[in-house]
């Protein structure tokens, strides 16, 4: 477990990370309010965001949080596939929203929160798993034969991200409809 008192920098990062969901909702509200979507931007952005969510689902189907260093599925390729998927979803939201202001807000949020979350996660994994995590980072671990599991996807709460994505596409779709009429 990570000792936040041993390193004041981690304490600050932890305080920032604890507020990332609340800030995320605020950023989403600004994004929805300032979005200027077209049917084309919604279609392209929606596809990009769905691609990001697919990466997250793949990762969640392999992840066993807090009990091991996961080395199967996308974790063979990328140390942080959930965060990578989140960034891709953010890019999709920016494309769908079709607004420079939304782009600035979303990219500022991601540029602050994702590195903070990664730094804390890596420190926690290193403190919890020691040399095993160091070996994983260096690529010195045997591949795992773990198979993807929908049960793990559910256990990891990925249905919340899927719900948020679908709601976001719906809200931006409503804005596109109000601004541009029917798409056909």
Domain ranges, residue 107:
8-180
pLDDT at 4 over 80: no
Total number of domains constituting the chain: 1
- pLDDT tens, residue by residue, 130-157: 999 999 999 988 878 889 999 999 999 9
- 50 falls within a domain: yes
At residue 153, the 3 state secondary structure works out as helix
- 3 falls within a domain: no
pTM for the predicted model, two decimal places: 0.91
Q: How many angstroms separate the Cα of 101 from the Cα of each of 107, 156, 157, 162?
A: 10, 32, 31, 25
């Amino acid at each position: 477990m990570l000792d936040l008192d041993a390193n004041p920098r981690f304490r600050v990062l932890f305080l920032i990370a604890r507020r990332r969901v609340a800030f995320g909702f605020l950023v989403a509200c600004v994004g929805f309010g300032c979005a200027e979507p077209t049917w084309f931007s919604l279609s392209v952005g929606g596809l990009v965001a769905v691609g990001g969510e697919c990466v997250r689902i793949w990762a969640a189907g392999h992840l066993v949080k807090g009990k091991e260093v996961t080395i199967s599925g996308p974790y063979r390729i990328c140390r942080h596939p959930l965060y990578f998927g989140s960034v891709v979803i953010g890019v999709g939201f920016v494309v769908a929203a079709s607004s420079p202001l939304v782009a600035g807000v979303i990219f500022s949020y991601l540029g602050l929160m994702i590195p903070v979350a990664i730094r804390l996660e890596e420190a926690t994994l290193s403190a919890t798993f020691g040399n095993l995590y160091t070996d994983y980072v260096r690529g010195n671990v045997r591949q795992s034969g773990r198979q993807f599991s929908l049960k793990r996807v559910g256990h990891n709460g990925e249905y919340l991200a899927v719900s948020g994505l679908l709601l976001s596409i719906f809200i931006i779709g409503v804005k596109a409809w109000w601004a541009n009429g029917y798409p056909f």
